[in-house]
């Protein structure tokens, strides 16, 4: 039986609903052989996931970096999965710290805007949902759900709430600088959900060609936000550029309906990623 490998999972260290320890236990219970912890702009869940890792589960330590391409106006946001990098490498560590600080300040501004309109939530409550991790809009969504104002995270992200009326922009890393920083830290960069049109504007293939030249290692094809046609397009592009193709759940616990292992990565692709990394090793 081939290995089941899920390389995109979130914990309470960013915007998931399972703690890092619960996440790795859930991965083992879901029949995964390999899983990655890829919280947004933080390595804060690594130690707890490592300590709780069940026997037989291999753990890939990573992060999902908030990036932006400035080649068009308005610029386009994109996410970069970074695997097996050295968390102590100064440039990348400082960039991630800067992103987390901005996320926190952004969250406070959103809560201030909501409270100014009489919405009964507090920053202490939202901060508490983050449990010491990286604060994000899903934590504000939790507060709105608790207050009975919306029924789901999806509804909270709609234009009437966090999508437009109470939207506050955030800073992102320049995607080329992010790839360089991940590589300098011995990590392996993979473009997360590159054709997820349902999330908004996507970048053109021409940019992905440039990113490949700059050190991008792979494209995430099998993802719940990609149609079958989009997955096929990504595979074709990756093949043309010599990039690996990954698949993963992008699991967030109860913040999303997708389950661990819903989409998986081929074992030979995982081995290529592990072999290319010089930052930290796969655990297990």
CATH of the domain at 21: 3.20.20.140
- Does residue 117 lie in a domain region? no
Report the number of distinct structural domains present in the chain. 1
Best CA proximity match to 53, nearest among 79, 78, 27: 27
- Does residue 129 lie in a domain region? no
Best CA proximity match to 129, nearest among 269, 275, 254: 254
Token code pair at residue 240? 């043309």
pLDDT at 226: 96
**Which element (helix H / strand E) includes 127?**
helix 123-130
State pTM to two decimals.
Answer: 0.93
CA distance 271 to 282: 10
Give, in order, the Cα–Cα distances in Å from 156 to each of 16, 130, 134, 165. Answer: 16, 17, 19, 11
- Does residue 148 lie in a domain region? no
What's the sign of the alpha-carbon dihedral 277, 280, 282, 284? Answer: positive
- Does residue 106 lie in a domain region? no
pLDDT at 186: 98
pLDDT at 1: 53
- Does residue 247 lie in a domain region? yes
pLDDT at 255: 75
Token code pair at residue 164? 């437009």
Where in the sequence is the domain holding 252, given as residue range(s)? 5-97+170-276
Question: What are the pLDDT tens digits along the chain (284 aa)?
Answer: 579 999 999 999 998 989 999 999 999 999 999 999 999 999 999 999 999 999 999 999 999 999 999 999 999 999 999 999 999 999 999 999 999 999 999 999 999 999 999 999 999 999 998 877 778 898 999 999 999 999 998 899 999 999 999 999 999 999 999 999 999 999 999 999 999 988 889 999 999 999 999 999 999 999 999 999 999 999 999 999 999 999 999 999 987 889 999 999 999 999 999 999 999 999 99
pLDDT at 5: 98
pLDDT at 257: 87
- Does residue 115 lie in a domain region? no
Q: Is the peptide bond before 156 cis (omega within 30 degrees of 0)?
A: no
- Does residue 29 lie in a domain region? yes
CA distance 282 to 284: 6
- Does residue 254 lie in a domain region? yes
CA distance 80 to 99: 14
CA distance 237 to 229: 12
């Amino acid at each position: 039986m081939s290995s089941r490998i899920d390389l995109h999972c979130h914990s309470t260290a960013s915007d998931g609903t399972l703690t890092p320890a619960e996440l790795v236990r859930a991965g083992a219970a879901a029949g995964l052989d390999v899983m990655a912890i890829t919280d947004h702009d933080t390595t804060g869940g690594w130690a707890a996931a490592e300590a709780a890792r069940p026997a037989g589960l291999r753990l890939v330590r990573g992060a999902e970096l908030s990036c932006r391409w400035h080649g068009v106006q308005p610029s386009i946001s994109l996410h970069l999965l970074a695997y097996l990098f050295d968390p102590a490498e100064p440039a990348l560590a400082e960039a991630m710290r800067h992103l987390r600080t901005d996320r926190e300040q952004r969250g406070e501004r959103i809560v201030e805007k909501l409270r100014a309109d009489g919405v009964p939530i507090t920053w202490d409550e939202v901060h508490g949902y983050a449990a010491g991790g990286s604060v994000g809009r899903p934590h504000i969504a939790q507060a709105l759900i608790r207050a009975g104002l919306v029924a789901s995270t999806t509804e909270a992200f709609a234009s009437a709430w966090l999508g437009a009326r109470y939207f506050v922009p955030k800073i992102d890393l320049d995607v080329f600088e992010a790839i360089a920083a991940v590589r300098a830290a011995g990590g392996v960069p993979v473009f997360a959900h590159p054709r997820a049109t349902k999330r908004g504007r996507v970048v053109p293939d021409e940019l992905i060609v440039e990113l490949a030249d700059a050190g991008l290692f792979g494209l995430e094809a099998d993802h719940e936000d990609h149609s079958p046609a989009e997955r096929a397009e990504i595979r074709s592009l990756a093949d043309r550029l010599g990039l690996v193709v990954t698949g993963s759940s992008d699991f967030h616990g109860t913040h999303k309906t997708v389950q661990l292992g819903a989409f998986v990565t081929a074992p030979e692709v995982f081995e290529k990623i592990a072999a290319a990394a010089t930052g930290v090793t796969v655990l297990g």
